[in-house]
Structure 1
Amino acid sequence: MKFVKYLFILAVCCVLLGAGSIFGLYKYIEPQLPDVATLKDVRLQIPMQVYSADGELIAQYGEKRRIPVTLQQMPPELIKAFIATEDSRFYEHHGVDPVGIFRAASVAMFSGHASQGASTITQQLARNFFLS
């Protein structure tokens, strides 16, 4: 019975240590992160556009040729395909998928290399927007 008690105390200490470490890491990194308000002020790089005298587009020059569209302009099949490919459990979590992280960690541990991704669409967006 004492063994179970000590095991429980050890588990509680590990959880508290882990939570404290995550909180400390957040407090260390948080001042370096950009303001969340910048999410609303997205400015995409657009190519240089050359127009004729009558206003017709002749050419576009540049690496990135993006045309922003709203969610309503995208076909529902495209949205479903994207979610099925990138994050099949998208509607089942709130940005972080513990099941996906555990699955990917288990596969990596038993195979010896990371063969599956664990990040959700939300995590990929945050990484690309804030950390690159």
Structure 2
Amino acid sequence: MTTIIATLSGLVPFLMYFGTALILLMLFMSIYMRLTPNDEIALIKDNNAAASVVLSAAFVGFSIPLASAAANSVNLVDFIVWGLVAGMAQLLVFLVFRRFYPLVSERISKGEIAVSIKLAGLSVTVGMLNAACITY
């Protein structure tokens, strides 16, 4: 019984970190979808695979460093700060990519998968690097 009680003592911190992570994820996705001229949700409902690939990769690309921030933070405030830093880094990647591919949004709207895969790969790659840098 003592082991179970000791194990469950981590439930409150888990709920705090997990709840905060979900809020940060929703905040990131809200900002991400505002940065793009596309209505990704409508495109996905219309079976646009290109939009689905990019939006899914944005979720994953941000979730990876967010998980690293949760695992390496010293407290909840530290987690929030590094989660916000990770989000800004991921959003910056999209803005830089858009500079090199100015028609990316139009191409995604048309369902062009090649540019979507490239942006998706970049989002996940930068997310992994971002996560590695949030270790101390």
Q: TM-score range by the shorter chain?
A: under 0.3
Report the structure, 1 or 2, having the larger strand content.
1
**Greater RCO (CA < 8 Å, at least 6 residues apart):** 2
Report the structure, 1 or 2, having the larger helix content.
2
Instruction: Please say which structure displays the higher CA radius of gyration.
Output: 1
- Using structure 2 for the length normalisation, give the TM-score: 0.27
